[in-house]
Amino acid sequence: MVIRDMGFFHSFFLKSRIKSPWLLHYDCGSCNGCDIEILACLTPVYDLERFGIINVGNPKHADIFLVTGTVNPRNRKVLLNLYRQIPAPRIVVALGSCALSGGIFREAYNVIGGVDQVIPVDIYVPGCPPRPESIIDGVLMALKQWAPQNKPLPGQDNPG
């Protein structure tokens, strides 16, 4: 949607986009190491909700798509389906070595490679597993991608 009005409302809508990212987490077949670290971000120690981040279970409500694990020909369809169900604008964060490149499973016969082989990825968070601090850092960097005003909004292209 084109941003038409300026001034207070314009800045309010931009600000609210950055201050209210809802996360959808999809595990493409990770060893659960990354998933446990994501859940750790929601605990009182790290408290992701400080940033207005809510972990939702519904792609239709999500803004940020966190993907962990290796993509294979089976879960590729699910990944693509979830990505298409997230209304634009949306941002994809690939989390952990496996989601980045396939990790140690890269050479396996059924592994396609990184998440970016299937859907466009905006932020890569390395680590096996990444620490909660770097996950939070990655998500906040994803939010900064939303800040520029004249850039076309990410996630408005449609793959495959």
Partner 1 sequence: MRLVLLTAFGLLTAPFLGGLIVGLDRILTARLQSRIGPPLFQPFYDLGKLWRKERALANPWQAFCAHGYLAAASIALALFGLQSDLLLILFVQAVGALFLVIGAFSSGSPYSQVGAHRELLQILAYEPLLLLVPAGIYLETHSFKIIDLYQWNEPLLLRLPLLFLVLPLVLTIKLRKSPFDLSASHQAHQELVRGILTDFSGPYLGLIELAHFFEIILFLGICSLFWATGWVGMIAVPGAVFIFQILADTASARMNWRWMWAWAWGIGFPLCLINLIWIVCGY
Per CB under 8 A, residues contacting partner 1 are 1, 3, 12-13, 15-17, 19-21, 44, 47, 49-52, 54-58, 60-61, 63, 87-89
> Shortest approach of partner 1 to residue 104 CB, angstroms?
29
> Shortest approach of partner 1 to residue 145 CB, angstroms?
15
CB atoms closer than 10 angstroms to residue 66: 28
> Shortest approach of partner 1 to residue 73 CB, angstroms?
26
Closer by beta carbon to partner 1, 87 or else 128? 87
Backbone angles phi, psi at 49, to 5 degrees: -70, -15
For the chain, the residue count is 160
Cα-only R_g, the chain: 16
Closer by beta carbon to partner 1, 55 or else 134? 55
Question: Within 13 Å and on the Cβ side, how many CA atoms surround 71?
Answer: 20
Closer by beta carbon to partner 1, 60 or else 151? 60
Burial (Cβ within 10 Å: 0-12, 13-18, ≥19) of residue 9: exposed
Closer by beta carbon to partner 1, 48 or else 95? 48
> Shortest approach of partner 1 to residue 88 CB, angstroms?
4
CA distance 156 to 160: 13
